[in-house]
Structure 1
Amino acid sequence: MKNSLLYIVTILFFNVLFSQKKVNNNDFNIQQIINNISLPQIPSYKVSVTQFGAKGDSLTNCKRAFDKAMKACEKRNGGKIIVPKGVYTINGPIHFVSNVELHLEEGAKIRFGSNPKDYPLVLTSWEGTMLYNYSPLIYGNSLKNIAITGSGIIDGEAKDTWIQWKPFEENDKQLSREMNHKSTPIKERVFGEGHFLRPQLIQFVNSKNILIEGVKIEDSPFWCVHLLKSKSITLRGIRYNAQNNNNDGLDIEYSSDVLIENIQFNNSDDNIAIKAGRDTEGRSNTTMPSENIVIKNCEFKGLHALVIGSEMSAGVRNVYVNNCRAIGYLKRGIYIKTNSDRGGYIKDIYVTNIDFGEVEDCIYMTSNYHGEGSGLFPSKITDISISNISCIAASNAGIVIEGNPTSKVENITLDNITIKSAKNGMTLINTKNVLFNEVVIGEKQGVPSSVH
């Protein structure tokens, strides 16, 4: 009896030590990622868009004034462009140059026109495939030290314009995917006039030392903020009211060293989506996974809170999510998705301390997204730790983990998960080494009932 008790105490002691070591390692790794991120260095030169003729009367086209302000900063190797209180209409995109901060003061609003002819073709990406399409409304390529700050509003003005393209985009979406699968040279993937792929609101490509802070984002044509093939990114204090189709809040793709914190999401699609290219093209970019991403202290509201995939073919790894909460209904809380056309991997994901309210599904991992996939390129989902999660109710499933028969989901740890009610408590298919501790779905069981 004495030896048995000693054995149990020893096991518990080592479990506690292991758990504490893991927490400490995660804290260390998070701090290392944050330490590797550089905020943009902006020269002291300042200009106001009003110096170049911009009028905040909501009627005047301020495109030339914003272009001139950007040019003035470029001549001085950078600077700060101030947008004072007022409503500024811009018929065409804002194209950034390096070492520039666009600052929207309290009461300032930028609203973009929606004539496609005002938006030249640029190198961009659409749902994981590189191509040439209408310029995102705010855009930059191959830049460093860029920032969008302040408390003003960036309005895509899309609800009555760009969004009308949604029913017509299917042929172009399939064409882009066919070009991806056939490795069509990117210079030949030209969309734009005669096509119906909506542009993103804000997109920076091949850039580094990026800051977006404080602004409110509304009414985007497509994804709201898309960071593509970029690194050293800080996204904090952003607010959203973006209710159009495909209005993802943040899409992080082929990007690394990212801090996302204190963001108030209110999006009709994914709040945060971490991606890494699609299918053939993504698998050819394995040196550019999305990695080293820290997400903390955010408020989720919309369709899905945290999403990884489904475009993740170059791989997603080293993602840390901590101390977030949902306000209002979500379709899914934690959603990891891929299919057997993607390939690639999702690994080393650590999610802890999240409070969800009512959802359709609380935790959902699937290798069978939309039931699609040829079976030739199954993805690998492995080494996922999810802990300290609470959920009031799941109208469908509490926990779903669904692997591929030839590539099982494995090494999953679920610790201290409480889901007060769920239609389907748990479904595990094609999994290996799934560990549970303190997982309660439904009413917590107490003392067993007596036979009398």
Structure 2
Amino acid sequence: MNSFKKHFSHTFRFAIGLFLVLPRLCMAQEPTRPTIQQVSFKNDTLNIISYGAKGDGQFLNTTAINKALRTCSEQGGGVVLIPAGLWLTGPIEMQSNVNLHLKRDAVLLFTKDFNQYKLVESNWEGEPAWRNQNPISGKNLNNIAITGNGIIDGNGDAWRMVKKSKLTASQWKTLVASGGEVDSNNDIWYPSKSSLQGAKEKKAGVIRPGTTIDDFKDVKDFLRPNLLVFTNCKKVLLEGITIQNSPAWNLHPLMCEDLTLRKLTVRNPWYGQNGDGVDVESCKNVLIEDCTFDVGDDGICIKSGRDKAGRERAMPTENVIVRNNVVYHAHGGFVIGSEMSGGARNIWVENCSFIGTDIGLRFKTTRGRGGIVENIYINNINMVNIPGEAILFDMYYAAVDPVPMAGEKRAAVKTVTLPVTEETPQFRNFYIKNIMAKGASKGIFFRGLPEMHIQNIWIENATLEANKGIEIIEASHINLKNISLKTKESNPLISIENGSKINLDNIQALDIPDLYIQIAGEKSADIRLSKSNAKTAKTISQFTAGSTNKSLTIKN
């Protein structure tokens, strides 16, 4: 009988242990990586010169290029060649089964004549909107590509507003003297009165019941297009080209499947408003590899629609591989959000370098979005000279530049708890490892919502050199392991506010901190610090704002 009790006791303890561990084991198992289907074309080649194109930078080639694309597709597909030259053009509409190929010494330059771009029903930052026609577009196409080593230039400086704070005094003076309009505060330059008028309207161009195209003609100049937009296309390849100087986002694949971006150079002026590199929105099966980005807003960004429109579309961006890329200037190196209302899942980011991006890994959202971002796997990321955070999760995104300008003051976030609804966003199940950052404002930052914590985040094997260490606000089930921190400001090294079930395993301060860990908030609980060098600090722990020492367990 005693033997039976002993066996039952062991079996019971094993079962309970398995019950507790199994959810974590299941959560940590990666899904199968996607296979991205590739394009294939006939060898037939049509030269745009045969259709009347002239590469002198003066002749408008819109008709010739579009005729070549249509003819190629109608004949069963193949290659449309843009040879050496400076090819001025208006909007280009891609066609199925066509590879638009640019020679190395070819420049495809889009005209500054806004009359060439008609107003069309499109999409702006995740919502249906009237916009000027995209310089390059394609809808409901199959098997398309743009390849080669040439340059595509969107002439974006003709469209974009510019903030005075982002220019030198001499640059600002020259810009204002060139024409255009300056706002009443003398803070922002606009290319025209129409552009300035659009800036005064709330959500200008967004399609609303009762509005028609005529309601937006007086602000047409403000409705900047993204340079390249492919919508609901399958089997897409962009390879080798330089794409630059966009009116707004450079690359915007929307609701596409089997998308490959390879060996691209994507450029925009650092001050370019909304000058993102690539925004992959509601796409499935995506590969972004061996690309270089140097842009005015987010570098590589994942989106899935904004607020109600994104939730109703209900198309997450999923099955994405991002590898072997370099991002120079950008608001974020790799970014998810803030328009992620349709969700994002099953994304792998590996072997990338961020050199001077405002933030390294940037995950942003806000109340009203809804959507779930989950199953994100990040490995082997190098960062150098990051003005903001190396790793950031923020559920209070406010559509402002991530790094304040000199002298800029921003109001602190006011914390209130709201009911959880379909408008409540979620970040969960992120697995981040092997991160090296040399120079950042802060190493790691989490800021969740009181009603919806950021949760189930693993960060392992990181060496972070930053002014400040780790800050965790409204987050739970956070696991940080094997983290080395070299900080200039060490009061405290680690700050936790209303955090729970937080495991800090082998956190090493490379410089002796004044205060190792500060815990605030009465909801802080079950925080475990183990195998750290906390004893080297002048003060190991401090408890404020309703927290108590019961919230922290320290083990060596």
Instruction: Give deviations 1:112-143, integer Å, cap 9, x for gaps.
Output: 00222211233321011022321110001111
Task: Report whether the alignment pairs 1:425 with 2:425.
Answer: no
Q: 2:156 aligns to what SS in structure 1?
A: coil
Task: Report the alpha carbon displacement of residue 326 of structure 1 after superposing the two structures with TM.
Answer: 2.0
Q: Is the Cα–Cα contact under 8 Å of residues 152 and 216 in structure 1 kept in the other structure?
A: yes
Task: Report whether the alignment pairs 1:392 with 2:418.
Answer: no
Q: 2:510 aligns to what SS in structure 1?
A: coil
CA distance in 1: counterparts of 2:343 and 2:537, whole angstroms? 53
Change (3 A) 1:185 1:229: farther
Task: Report the alpha carbon displacement of residue 269 of structure 1 after superposing the two structures with TM.
Answer: 1.1
> What is aligned with 1:170?
199
Q: Is the Cα–Cα contact under 8 Å of residues 114 and 162 in structure 1 kept in the other structure?
A: no
> What is aligned with 1:7?
none
CA distance in 2: counterparts of 1:126 and 1:217, whole angstroms? 20
Q: Is the Cα–Cα contact under 8 Å of residues 131 and 190 in structure 1 kept in the other structure?
A: no
Task: Report the alpha carbon displacement of residue 61 of structure 1 after superposing the two structures with TM.
Answer: 1.2
Q: 1:265 aligns to what SS in structure 2?
A: strand
Q: Is the Cα–Cα contact under 8 Å of residues 132 and 187 in structure 1 kept in the other structure?
A: no
Q: Is the Cα–Cα contact under 8 Å of residues 319 and 347 in structure 2 kept in the other structure?
A: yes
> What is aligned with 2:510?
444
Structure 1 length-normalised TM: 0.86
Q: Is the Cα–Cα contact under 8 Å of residues 227 and 246 in structure 2 kept in the other structure?
A: yes
Correspondence 1:236-385 to 2 at 5 A? 236-243=262-269, 244-286=272-314, 288-303=315-330, 304-327=332-355, 329-359=356-386, 360-370=388-398, 377-385=423-431
1:153 is aligned with what amino acid? Answer: I
Change (3 A) 1:449 1:348: closer
CA distance in 2: counterparts of 1:145 and 1:124, whole angstroms? 22
CA distance in 1: counterparts of 2:206 and 2:478, whole angstroms? 34
Task: Report the alpha carbon displacement of residue 63 of structure 1 after superposing the two structures with TM.
Answer: 1.4
Task: Report whether the alignment pairs 1:158 with 2:156.
Answer: yes
Q: Is the Cα–Cα contact under 8 Å of residues 267 and 277 in structure 2 kept in the other structure?
A: no
Q: Is the Cα–Cα contact under 8 Å of residues 160 and 273 in structure 2 kept in the other structure?
A: no
Change (3 A) 1:186 1:351: farther
Q: 1:347 aligns to what SS in structure 2?
A: strand
1:319 is aligned with what amino acid? Answer: I
Q: Is the Cα–Cα contact under 8 Å of residues 275 and 309 in structure 1 kept in the other structure?
A: yes
Task: Report the alpha carbon displacement of residue 59 of structure 1 after superposing the two structures with TM.
Answer: 1.4
Q: Is the Cα–Cα contact under 8 Å of residues 367 and 378 in structure 1 kept in the other structure?
A: no
Q: 1:348 aligns to what SS in structure 2?
A: strand
Larger radius of gyration: 2
> What is aligned with 2:447?
402
Q: Report sequence identity in percent.
A: 32
Instruction: Give deviations 1:171-205, integer Å, cap 9, x for gaps.
Output: 455245684xxxx4898797455331200110000
Q: Is the Cα–Cα contact under 8 Å of residues 375 and 428 in structure 2 kept in the other structure?
A: yes
1:382 is aligned with what amino acid? Answer: R
Task: Report the alpha carbon displacement of residue 374 of structure 1 after superposing the two structures with TM.
Answer: 11
CA distance in 1: counterparts of 2:198 and 2:133, whole angstroms? 17
Unpaired segments of 5 or more residues in structure 1?
1-13
Change (3 A) 1:185 1:254: farther
Q: 2:461 aligns with which of 394, 416, 419?
A: 416
2:313 is aligned with what amino acid? Answer: N
Q: 2:374 aligns to what SS in structure 1?
A: strand
Correspondence 1:48-197 to 2 at 5 A? 48-90=47-89, 92-163=90-161, 164=190, 168-172=197-201, 174-175=203-204, 179=208, 184=209, 191=216, 194-195=219-220, 196-197=222-223
Aligned residues: 419
Instruction: Give deviations 1:215-240, integer Å, cap 9, x for gaps.
Output: 00121100000000111100010002
CA distance in 2: counterparts of 1:60 and 1:186, whole angstroms? 37
1:339 is aligned with what amino acid? Answer: T
Instruction: Give deviations 1:267-307, integer Å, cap 9, x for gaps.
Output: 11111110000011111122x11111100000011121011
CA distance in 2: counterparts of 1:102 and 1:40, whole angstroms? 13
Q: Is the Cα–Cα contact under 8 Å of residues 132 and 190 in structure 1 kept in the other structure?
A: no
2:385 is aligned with what amino acid? Answer: E
> What is aligned with 2:232?
206
2:203 is aligned with what amino acid? Answer: Q
> What is aligned with 2:257?
231
Q: 1:383 aligns to what SS in structure 2?
A: strand
Instruction: Give deviations 1:349-376, integer Å, cap 9, x for gaps.
Output: 1111000001121111011111699956
Q: Is the Cα–Cα contact under 8 Å of residues 318 and 349 in structure 1 kept in the other structure?
A: yes
CA distance in 2: counterparts of 1:203 and 1:434, whole angstroms? 38
Structure 2 length-normalised TM: 0.71
**What do you get for the CA RMSD once the two structures are aligned?**
2.8
CA distance in 2: counterparts of 1:162 and 1:56, whole angstroms? 26
Q: 2:358 aligns to what SS in structure 1?
A: strand
CA distance in 2: counterparts of 1:147 and 1:191, whole angstroms? 33
Task: Report the alpha carbon displacement of residue 310 of structure 1 after superposing the two structures with TM.
Answer: 0.3
Instruction: Give deviations 1:368-426, integer Å, cap 9, x for gaps.
Output: 1116999562201100111111111112x21111111111110000101111222x311
Q: Is the Cα–Cα contact under 8 Å of residues 112 and 155 in structure 1 kept in the other structure?
A: yes
Change (3 A) 1:190 1:410: farther
Task: Report the alpha carbon displacement of residue 246 of structure 1 after superposing the two structures with TM.
Answer: 1.4
Task: Report the alpha carbon displacement of residue 75 of structure 1 after superposing the two structures with TM.
Answer: 2.2
Unpaired segments of 5 or more residues in structure 2?
1-17, 162-189, 399-412, 487-508, 513-532, 539-556
Change (3 A) 1:228 1:274: same
CA distance in 2: counterparts of 1:386 and 1:450, whole angstroms? 27
- More RCO (CA 8 Å, sep 6+): 1
Q: 1:233 aligns to what SS in structure 2?
A: strand
CA distance in 2: counterparts of 1:29 and 1:76, whole angstroms? 38
Instruction: Give deviations 1:309-342, integer Å, cap 9, x for gaps.
Output: 0000010111100001123x11100110000110
CA distance in 1: counterparts of 2:347 and 2:203, whole angstroms? 30
